[in-house]
Amino acid sequence: MEDVLKTPLLAILLVSAACAQAPDLKTISGHARALQNQVKNVVLRSAEKVPEADYSFKPTPEVRSFGQILGHIADAQYAFCSAAMGEKNPSPGVEKSKTSKADLSAALQEAFSYCDKAYAALTDANAGDPVKLFGADRARLGVLSFNTSHVYEHYGNLVTYMRLKGIVPPSSERRR
């Protein structure tokens, strides 16, 4: 363990993980954060697990590739979470501009980090506040719930792609 802690980044990550407070599942906002963290974890682990050669894999020609789904998830994080925070969507165009595993993984991590700010700002008191999404007023919690369900929808696509390639999805891995 002492050798591990000599690596500064790893030490920072270990301390951050140890200090991170689990969301309060007795609150609406805490439950929303917990679900987002859960899907974020399995999507990021999927991006790590799948070999670069399979990022271009499409089960049929008319659907998105594995990598394009990751890019789409990243773009959607900005769309939904910018709306929840009342910000202009930065619209990075990840799905159309990134193809390599390294670029997509980094963009996905950045997108989830951007969204973490929206979930961190969510409280039970402001969950019902109106925000604009797709030109309509919606509850802040509704927008963030839509985001989480959208990510889960596409995680289902990723699971199918991984299964077709003989890869066990992160949500199906044996617990240690």
The domains found in the chain, sorted by start residue, are: 24-172 (1.20.120.450)
Q: Per residue in 117-131, pLDDT tens?
A: 999 999 999 999 999
Q: Report which DSSP code applies to 166.
A: T
- Give pTM, 2 decimals: 0.85
Across the strands, what pairs with 130? 139
Contacts of 109 (CB under 8 A, 6+ apart): 44
Q: Report which DSSP code applies to 6.
A: T
Distance CA 54, CA 25 (A): 37
Q: Per residue in 82-136, pLDDT tens?
A: 999 999 999 999 999 999 999 999 999 999 999 999 999 999 999 999 999 999 9
For residue 65, give the nearest of 76, 75, 53, 77 by alpha carbon. 53
Is the pLDDT score of 59 beyond 50? yes
Element (H, E) at 136: strand 136-139
